[in-house]
Amino acid sequence: MTVLACVTALVAALALAVTPAPARAAGTLLSQGKPVTASSTENGGTPATAAVDGDPGTRWSSAAGDPQWLQVDLGTGSTISSVTLTWETAYATVYQLQTSTDGTTWKSLYTTTTGKGGTENLTVSGSGRYVRLTTTQRATQYGVSLWEFQVYGTAGTGSACSTANAALRRPATASSTENAGTPAGAAVDGDSGTRWSSAAADPQWLQVDLGSVQSVCGVQLSWETAYAKAYQIQVSTDGVSWTGVYSTSSGAGGTELVSLTGTGRYVRVYGTARATQYGYSLWEFQVFTGGTTTPPGDGATLLSYKKPATASTYQNANSCLDCTPAKAFDEDPATRWATSDVNGWVDPGWIAVDLGASAHITKVVLQWDPAYASAYQIQTSPDGVNWTSIYSTSSGKGFKETLNVDGTGRWVRMYGTARSNGYGYSLWTFDVYGTGGSPTAPPAPPADPGNPTHLVWSDEFNGPAGSKPDTAKWTQDPGNGQNGELEYYTNGDNTSMDGNGNLVIEARKEANGQYTSGRINTSDHFNFTYGHVEARIKVSGTQGLWPAFWLLGSNFKTGTPWPNCGEIDIMEHVGKVADSVYSTLHAPAYNGGNGYGSPYTVAGSDFASAFHTYALDWNSTRMTFSVDGKSFFTADRSTVEQTRGPWVYDHPFYIILNNAVGGDWPGAPDATTVLPQRMLVDYVRVSQ
């Protein structure tokens, strides 16, 4: 899921002092890739979006009439310092630049009656969320046309659109349901394997009650095959009177992420034209609202980060080297504390943290390893000697436990009295929230991707036949494979362009009987956190082949072992299962055969017979995997933490492409195997 950008507008007066300038004023380009609308378009090939796409070869053009306008939503109230208009031959001689805080009431920022066309760099002074060009006199008999409409300045600091799904498990109703197995609630249950479907008629609707009036900034629709070609998104404060905030007659199905602006307690998708003879069907209907996600401490401060820690014992051997008490407080979800495997698998067992000063404790978050406490207390102390219980349970469930507490002390302790199994106690994370103490601020989390996203990195593989992958983008990764693989990855002998716009990664059996293949990665060139990642690939397909498109945590290159670094498999295919591809997450608590993921199966098909687009939408709260635009698996952070273990994906990763031979999963080549086999990659693209 790529992530939405929607913020509260700054309400500010506009200081209007404008003079044309030979070069634009300093400032950040704010308009590129932002939502844009226009009074009209000449045709489908000259849309409004073409004026803010950063491509000087595409343009917006209007109908042949006056007046016309083009406006861009910067997403937040911003200070505007300059505007650049790059006109096509059909320019305006008379026009205004205007700004608005709400998209309704406009103030003039600049006016001219002597527009010259070409490239006009205008130094301005004003503020607003929306910027509009309004033309009132054309220079030609045609409409008006812009190659680029660029707004520069400083973005405001309003609240971003939350990445949390406000519709999750909220009350939902619908105009109809196909049957009892496809109720309205199935579209808001967070389960990508359940769905709502309607009767086979138009119109139909699905609505969700958010529980209170909120600023709505976007929705994500994960359609089943029966999708809407024409639909609206509507909001309402009372569930009776509805206001349309988005409309389309060209819905594409699959996963649609829609940026919008509206206010309401109820949000509705209202379908007016079906794409099939069936009804409408949604795997998931997600709603995003204004404001940042509330942190685990409900606004309280994290007090425990990197504070001195002690424990009854700790382990430093076998599967848990250096599992000291400090590891529970380092905000690294892939490191943990564990009691000693020599003398610590006993009751009681405890871990404590010194907050540095007395504090009011309001919340404790525990992320347990499978060695968890079924009975334990949370205790506080003023001196580290005398303890007071502020929470007690005899029914601990393990995984992630968020505890609302109320206590005072400088020290906080988890005091386990009953282990859940034959091992000791182990915590990935022990977070203490409240006020007071002597907190150390943890590192700022990475920013979620914007909406709409824009391309930040790509390779189209358009080199001549026989040329090698671009060494400014890819590093060859030679050596033996892992996981029981049989090939040797060569230093470029098995990776080259085919001259038709594809990278070829060829798996071969050499004359000496050795299997060889290719593996390349971006680790030395491009590492990134969050975004939309996709590749168009034609996989190899014979017994014993294992082509893959995946991401590995960049800290692997600096010494963090697998699986602590995290692994995101966007696409894996094994030749013995022709009709399926697989997407899987691997982390310390769930990896290998216990990885968290799902297959995508088209019964009776062969994925090796054609190109398919494999994609990941990744942000701080979820990952959604899709094939050819069809979303089939969503890993929700809260679900992962409460059912699998820590979420270890909030840091940079790099891209890997390889075509493995053999291995624990696909098995070895046999008498049916056909070699050589080519994995073809048309492109790889990353947007944020």
Q: What CA–CA distance (Å, rounded) separates 384 from 556?
A: 38
> Is 409 in contact with 382 (CB distance < 8 Å)?
yes
Q: How far is CA 542 from CA 532, 605, 673, in A?
A: 30, 14, 6
Q: What CA–CA distance (Å, rounded) separates 437 from 161?
A: 31
Q: What CA–CA distance (Å, rounded) separates 485 from 144?
A: 60
Q: What CA–CA distance (Å, rounded) separates 645 from 370?
A: 9
Return the DSSP state at 300.
Answer: P
Phi/psi at 325 (nearest 5 deg)? Answer: -55, -35
Q: What CA–CA distance (Å, rounded) separates 113 from 101?
A: 26
Phi/psi at 326 (nearest 5 deg)? Answer: -60, -25
> Is 187 in contact with 644 (CB distance < 8 Å)?
no
Distance between alpha carbon 491 and the CA centroid of its chain, in Å?
A: 33
What's the token pair of residue 431?
């977070």
Return the DSSP state at 447.
Answer: P
> Is 424 in contact with 325 (CB distance < 8 Å)?
no
User: Cis (ω within 30 of 0) for the bond into 325?
Assistant: no
Q: What CA–CA distance (Å, rounded) separates 167 from 187?
A: 9
Other CB atoms within a 10 A radius of the CB of residue 179 amount to 8
> Is 32 in contact with 52 (CB distance < 8 Å)?
yes
What's the token pair of residue 8?
């509260």
Phi/psi at 284 (nearest 5 deg)? Answer: -145, 145
- Catalytic residue IDs: 567, 572
